[in-house]
A and B are shown apart, each in its own frame.
Chain A
Amino acid sequence: MTTYRNRPDLVAALVRDDRVHRDLYLSDELFALEQERLFANTWVFLGHASQVPEAGDFVTQEIAGRPLLMVRQPDGAVHVMYNRCAHKGTQLVTDESGNTGRFFRCPYHAWTYKLDGAPLGLPLKNGYEGTQLKACESGQGLPVVKHVKVYRDFVFVRLADTGPSFEDYFGEVLGALDNMVDRSPEGKLTVGGGVLRNIVHCNWKMYLENINDTVHPMSTHESATKAAEALWEGHAPTDPKPMAMEQILPFGSGYEFFDKMGGRVFANGHSVLGVNFSIHSNYAQLPEYEAAMQAAHGVERATDILQRSPQNSVLYPSLSVKGSPQAIRVIRPLAANRTLIEAWSFRAAGAPALLFERAMSYNRLVFSPMSVVAHDDVHLFESIQQGLRAGGNEWISLHRNHDPAETQQATVTTNGTNELLMRNQFRAWAKAMTVEAAA
């Protein structure tokens, strides 16, 4: 039964100014439309250039349900192609990453391709003489993703032919990536320590909303923070804490703390939570590192970079950034009720090893499938996914601090507990979902 595909009015009606309809989380049809429209028409994070340091290095990744292949070229550029043989569609590589050497060779009938996807050779060449192979798609090599942007080594793709430019789409929120990269005195990050991967049985939007939800930590994470507080009892507030304590205890900060940290929304669903301070602001300072940062950036700019440590910056729809600790989360939707969440850590060139340790420790404590903090989040997401099936109320409230004037401005700075950060995501969702699919 198709309800929404040809009815943009019905899709738009699911997102009201101050609430959204449950079908956003439950409907398989909307999930399919999201893949076609939202994830194909916006700029989606694929991977990091440091994953493919040498020519021939590749990484495979599915975006909007399409298998992609990111490849380092002999000239140093990073290209993205569809992972689909031009002959009959075999995936050129099925490992998650590796090095293909100087060309790709299809395992099925041995058609070969250059690293940029151009056709190289094929067996029984004579058999194609007089045929139309060269003139049709099959003779053109691997289909290439045309809209690829490598921004400070973060690789994004837009699969649709038409749509906003990378800069127009992200705008000021790119400052979140700048801040993370600038924390390297050499301006260079590399992915390190592997990626923690979680399967969560909930809709991807629920996870993304929670990244902007400052009202839940006190109640959701009470068991973890109370246990940490009990173990840390008797220590003075100034006592140096083990890294785990430094990272877990701030989850118990009160409503006022989270309200005052402030938030900012931008056009297209992006946001920064914690524009004033965050649970990451009070990590121990490192004098040698600060000196290196000042040498690289000047005193004023170094101070500015290091003092900004937002809770989360959302590059809608799939990337969440923590400048300090240097970590990102990537949201990869699998089905209406199933989402893959990845947590990545970065090493910053020229920075002390402790920074990398912090990134790994934070991800392990908070985002691992064996996390001490996330179990309660995950339980509640999965609980919402079940609870929404209840009748009697088909709406999800996003009323907190709603102001009818808020839709008039693209950028708004506000208190940290304002559900505007979530409303802003859903407005972007409605916009993308009601534009006719271009790809």
Chain B
Amino acid sequence: MNDPRDFIAHEAGLLDERRFDDWLALFADGGHYWVPLLGAAQADPFSHNSLAYEDRLLLQLRVERLKNPRAHSQHPASHSQHVLQPSRIEEEAADEVRLRTPFLYVEARGDDQILLSGTARHHLIRTPTGWSIREKRIDLLNATRALPAIQLFI
């Protein structure tokens, strides 16, 4: 999987198949998953709050929690579907690349489903075994509005 655009599609596919351990393994050691509260308008994760700003430790916590039968909010379980537009390469260097991927995200649980849209921005670095995520940033279209619970990973 040399083309980073294939990697983006693969990454979303793992989430939608609920292969969360495999998904987490895609993150680099210092990697972050970030959903800014101001969406695309936000400059950094420190001066303004975020819907989520998680390092590997916190992502691991989430993944482990989802496996616990007493994760009450997962009875019934949530399922996701990422509908991705083609990824566009924003910046490319010898061993790193930045891409943007507009998406629709559906999270379904029981009789309810929520629909979110926005742009995923990936910063990938090349490792001996393939691409790895330095940062996955999700700029939601309506990040500042009141939202219902989002339980899986956009």
Alpha-carbon separation in the docked complex, A220 to B62 (Å) = 15
- Contact present for B49 and A380 (CB under 8 Å): no
Interface-facing stretch out of B8-16, B82-90, B145-153: B145-153
Chain A residues, Cβ within 8 Å of B35: 370
Interface residue? A378 (CB, 8 A): yes
CB 8 Å contact bits of A212-237 with B (1 = contact, 0 = none) = 00000001101110111011000000
* Given known A193-B47, A194-B49, contact A228–B61 (CB-CB < 8 A): yes
Nearest B residue to A357 via CB reads B46
Interface residue? A296 (CB, 8 A): no
* Given known A223-B68, A223-B70, contact A194–B48 (CB-CB < 8 A): yes
Interface residue? A345 (CB, 8 A): yes
- Contact present for A378 and B73 (CB under 8 Å): yes
Alpha-carbon separation in the docked complex, A345 to B71 (Å) = 27
- Contact present for A368 and B70 (CB under 8 Å): no
Chain A residues, Cβ within 8 Å of B150: 369-370
Interface residue? B106 (CB, 8 A): no
Chain B residues, Cβ within 8 Å of A364: 49-53
- Contact present for B72 and A194 (CB under 8 Å): no
CB 8 Å contact bits of B32-76 with A (1 = contact, 0 = none) = 000101100000001111111100011011101100101111010
Alpha-carbon separation in the docked complex, A201 to B50 (Å) = 23
Interface residue? B144 (CB, 8 A): yes
Interface residue? A52 (CB, 8 A): no
Pick from A193, A222, A345, A364 the residue with the most CB of B within 10 Å: A364
Chain B residues, Cβ within 8 Å of A248: 61
Chain A residues, Cβ within 8 Å of B71: 223, 375-376
Nearest A residue to B37 via CB reads A194
Interface residue? A294 (CB, 8 A): no
Alpha-carbon separation in the docked complex, A224 to B70 (Å) = 9
- Contact present for A223 and B149 (CB under 8 Å): no
- Contact present for A242 and B51 (CB under 8 Å): no
Query: Can you add 11 more A-B contacts, CB < 8 Å, to A197-B146, A245-B57, A379-B149?
Result: A193-B48, A198-B146, A219-B70, A223-B68, A226-B65, A244-B61, A345-B49, A357-B46, A363-B49, A375-B73, A378-B73
Size bracket of the B interface: 20 to 34
CB 8 Å contact bits of A235-252 with B (1 = contact, 0 = none) = 000000010110010000
Alpha-carbon separation in the docked complex, A328 to B60 (Å) = 28
- Contact present for A379 and B73 (CB under 8 Å): yes
Alpha-carbon separation in the docked complex, A370 to B152 (Å) = 8
**Among residues 350 to 373 in chain A, which have CB atoms less than 8 Å away from a CB atom of chain B?**
357, 360, 363-365, 368-370, 372
Alpha-carbon separation in the docked complex, A296 to B39 (Å) = 39
Nearest A residue to B71 via CB reads A223
- Contact present for B61 and A199 (CB under 8 Å): no
Alpha-carbon separation in the docked complex, A214 to B150 (Å) = 25
Interface residue? A196 (CB, 8 A): yes
Alpha-carbon separation in the docked complex, A215 to B151 (Å) = 24
B51 partner, pick from A196, A231, A340, beta carbons under 8 A = A196
Chain A residues, Cβ within 8 Å of B70: 219, 222-223, 226
- Contact present for B65 and A231 (CB under 8 Å): no
- Contact present for A368 and B65 (CB under 8 Å): no
Chain B residues, Cβ within 8 Å of A345: 49
- Contact present for A369 and B68 (CB under 8 Å): no
Interface residue? A384 (CB, 8 A): no
* Given known A231-B61, A374-B149, contact A220–B72 (CB-CB < 8 A): yes
Nearest 5 interchain pairs by C-beta: A379-B73, A197-B146, A227-B64, A193-B49, A223-B71
Nearest B residue to A340 via CB reads B146
CB 8 Å contact bits of B124-154 with A (1 = contact, 0 = none) = 0000000000000000000011111111000
Chain A residues, Cβ within 8 Å of B51: 196, 364, 368-370
CB 8 Å contact bits of A59-99 with B (1 = contact, 0 = none) = 00000000000000000000000000000000000000000
* Given known A194-B144, A223-B65, contact A368–B58 (CB-CB < 8 A): no
* Given known A194-B37, A231-B60, contact A369–B72 (CB-CB < 8 A): no
* Given known A194-B37, A194-B48, contact A372–B146 (CB-CB < 8 A): no
- Contact present for B64 and A230 (CB under 8 Å): yes
Chain A residues, Cβ within 8 Å of B61: 224, 227-228, 231, 244, 248, 372
Chain B residues, Cβ within 8 Å of A194: 37-38, 48-49, 144
A-B contact pairs, 13 of them (CB 8 A): A197-B147, A200-B149, A201-B148, A227-B61, A231-B60, A340-B146, A345-B49, A364-B49, A364-B53, A370-B150, A372-B62, A375-B73, A376-B73
Alpha-carbon separation in the docked complex, A52 to B47 (Å) = 19
B65 partner, pick from A201, A224, A242, beta carbons under 8 A = A224
Alpha-carbon separation in the docked complex, A196 to B36 (Å) = 11
A199 partner, pick from B60, B64, B148, B151, beta carbons under 8 A = B148
B72 partner, pick from A223, A226, A227, A230, beta carbons under 8 A = A223
